[in-house]
Structure 1
Amino acid sequence: MTSQPQHNYWGYDSAPGIPTVYSLTDSGSIRVLWALEDLVEKGLLESYNLKAFERSKTTAKAPESMKEGFRLGTAPILTVSPASAPDEPPTPFVEGRLILQFLSDHYAKGLWDSPAPEDQARNVFFQEFAGTTVSTLTSLTLTMDLIPEATPWPLKPLVKLLFVPLMSVFKGKLVVPFKFLEDTLSEDKPWFGGAKLGLADFCMIFPLDTCVARRYFDAAKYPKVAQWHKTVHEMPTYQRAVKKMGEYNGIKS
C-alpha cells in the first residue's frame, strides 16, 4: 500500500480495525453514527472512535479541521486501518451510502441483509431513492426556506417575497414521494429494507428527520411513515447517535 490509500477502496487482505468517524452537527452523519451504534449494540463492533465537529455559527460550514479525515472536509467521513496493522495510514471512506455499504460488507455479518431476493432488491432501491429523490427535494426545499432566514433585515421582506413561493413549490413536490413511501410500508414490511431494518432505513432517516423538523411532512397524511419515524426515534441506538452528534436539527443533545 502507498502512504495515501485510495479512498473508498479497501486494498488489504486483513480485516479493517476500529474505525474513526468524523461527524458534523446537523448533518447526514446521523446515518453512520446510528449504524455504528447498531453494530456495537449487536456485538459486531467492539467500539469506534468519534471526532465530532461543530458547524460555524455564522456560515454553518464545517471547520477546516475536518479535512484531516478527507481532503474535501465534508461529513460524514470514516477512516480505518487494518486490524493487523493499526499503524498503517488509514483509508478514508466518504459519502454516507458508501460508508454504510462498507460497514455492512466488513462488520455487519449479514445483520442488515435479507434472505428474500425481493427484499434485497427493495433495500437497494430505497437506498437510491433516499439519496436522490427524497434528499434532493428536501435539500431544495430547505435551501428556499433558509435563504430568507439568513438574509439581513433590510432585504428580508423582498427575499421572502421571492423565496417563500419557491419553497412552497418544492414542498409540494415532496407529496408524491411521501405517498410512495406510505404505500410501500405494511405490517409485513414495516422497514424500507423490507421485513427487517436495512441499509435503506439508515439512508432514509436524515431527509425524513429534516422534513419532520421543518414541518414539510404531515404525519396525519402518512401514518405508516410516521410510525416508522417514531419507531426509529425510540431506538436506543438512534438516541445514542443523536447524543454523540451534539446538535441535530437545531436541538442540542
Structure 2
Amino acid sequence: MTSIPQHNYWGYTTPPGTPTVYSLTNSGSIRVLWALEELVEGSMLESYNLKSFERSKTTHAAPDAMKEGFRLGKSPILTVSPANAPDQPPTSFVEGRLVLQFIADHYSKGVWDPQTPQDRARDIFFQEFAGTTVSTLTSLTLTMDVIPEAAPWLLKPLLNLIFVPLKSVFKGKLVEPFEFLEDALSDEKPWFGGSKLGLADFCMIFPLDTCVARKYFDPAKYPKLGRWHRTVHELPAYQRAAKKMGEYNNIKA
C-alpha cells in the first residue's frame, strides 16, 4: 500500500505562514474566502494567495490541476508552510469545516470565539447542521435539478418527467430545516455563532446561497433567516470573496 503524507495536521512548533487557497468557481470555497477576507479586513492576516480554477463547461467538474494542492482535487483546499520556512513543502488542509477551524486556530486571534459556553455549543452544533442536514438535502435537491439541465435536448422531456417530481420531494424536505434555522435566530442571537459572527455562519452560507439562487428558499416565509442571508451579502468581506471566486451561483465577477 502506498503511504500518503499527513494532511490536516500542523506538525510544527512555529506558526503557519501565508496560506494559499485553491478555489473552484461556484463552490464551497466561498466559506474559506469569506473567512480570510474578514481576517484581512480586520488586520489579523496580512494577505493570502489565491489559485482560482474554473469548472468544466460540460461536466462541471474541477480540473486536474487542482490536485496540485491535494490529490483528490476537491474545493476548497488550503496549503501553508511555516512562516519561518516558506520554502518548506506545504501542508494541505481540506474539508471546509476543518479548513475554517485551522484558520480560526492559527490566524483569527480569537475574533470568532463564542462569548459563552452556550454559544460555543450552539456554534459547534450549527457547523455540523450546516455540513450535514442542510448541505445534504440541498445537494440532493440540486442533483435532481441539474441532471435534466445537462441532458441532450432530446432526453430532457423524459428526464423532466422523472426528476422534477423527485426534486419536489427533496425540496419539501428542506422545509423543516428552514423552520428550525428560522427559530434559532433572534435579536439577541442574530448569528448562528450566537451574539456575533462565528464559524457556523461561514459553514452555513454555501448551502443557503445555493438554496436562494435555485429558489428552494423563499426569504418572505423565513424573515429572520432571510435577514441573516441579506446581512452576509452586504458585508464587504463577503462581496470581495464572491468577486474573487470569479463566478458564483452563475454570476460572473
TM-score > 0.5, shorter chain as reference: yes
Q: Residues 113-152 of structure 1 correspond to what in structure 2 (within 5 A)?
A: 113-152=113-152
Q: Residues 98-109 of structure 1 correspond to what in structure 2 (within 5 A)?
A: 98-109=98-109
Residue 154 of structure 1: how far off its partner (Å): 1.4
Residue 223 of structure 1: how far off its partner (Å): 0.3
**SS at structure 2 position matched to 1:153:** coil
Q: Residues 174-189 of structure 1 correspond to what in structure 2 (within 5 A)?
A: 174-189=174-189
Q: Partner amino acid for 2:20?
A: T
Alignment-derived partner of residue 97 in structure 1: 97
Alignment-derived partner of residue 170 in structure 1: 170
Identity of aligned residues (%): 78
Q: Once superposed, what is the RMSD of the aligned Cα atoms?
A: 0.7
Alignment-derived partner of residue 9 in structure 1: 9
Residue 84 of structure 1: how far off its partner (Å): 1.1
**SS at structure 1 position matched to 2:194:** coil
Q: Please list the CA deviations of residues 225-248 of structure 1 after superposition, one character each: whole Å capped at 9, or x if unmatched.
A: 000000000000000000100000
Residue 172 of structure 1: how far off its partner (Å): 0.1
Residue 140 of structure 1: how far off its partner (Å): 0.1
Query: Residues 28 and 96 of structure 1 are in contact (CA less than 8 Å); yes or no, is this contact kept in structure 2?
Result: yes
Between the aligned partners of 1:239 and 1:34, the Cα distance in structure 2 is 8
Residue 189 of structure 1: how far off its partner (Å): 0.2
Q: Residues 199-218 of structure 1 correspond to what in structure 2 (within 5 A)?
A: 199-218=199-218
Residue 147 of structure 1: how far off its partner (Å): 0.6
**SS at structure 2 position matched to 1:46:** coil
Alignment-derived partner of residue 65 in structure 1: 65
Alignment-derived partner of residue 226 in structure 1: 226
Q: Partner amino acid for 2:93?
A: F
Between the aligned partners of 2:14 and 2:86, the Cα distance in structure 1 is 11
TM-score (norm 1): 0.98
Between the aligned partners of 1:177 and 1:23, the Cα distance in structure 2 is 28
Residue 155 of structure 1: how far off its partner (Å): 1.3
TM-score (norm 2): 0.98
Alignment-derived partner of residue 34 in structure 2: 34
Q: How many residues align?
A: 250
Segments of 4+ moved more than 2 angstroms:
none
Residue 115 of structure 1: how far off its partner (Å): 2.4
Alignment-derived partner of residue 157 in structure 2: 157
Alignment-derived partner of residue 44 in structure 2: 44
Q: Does 1:245 align with 2:241?
A: no
Alignment-derived partner of residue 82 in structure 1: 82
Q: Please list the CA deviations of residues 8-52 of structure 1 after superposition, one character each: whole Å capped at 9, or x if unmatched.
A: 000000000000000000000000000000010111100000000
Between the aligned partners of 1:203 and 1:154, the Cα distance in structure 2 is 39
Between the aligned partners of 1:61 and 1:243, the Cα distance in structure 2 is 20
Between the aligned partners of 1:219 and 1:243, the Cα distance in structure 2 is 23
Q: Please list the CA deviations of residues 136-176 of structure 1 after superposition, one character each: whole Å capped at 9, or x if unmatched.
A: 00000000011111111111111100000000000000000
Query: Residues 5 and 89 of structure 1 are in contact (CA less than 8 Å); yes or no, is this contact kept in structure 2?
Result: no
Alignment-derived partner of residue 18 in structure 1: 18
Between the aligned partners of 1:25 and 1:51, the Cα distance in structure 2 is 11
Between the aligned partners of 1:45 and 1:153, the Cα distance in structure 2 is 49
Q: Partner amino acid for 1:108?
A: S
Residue 5 of structure 1: how far off its partner (Å): 4.7
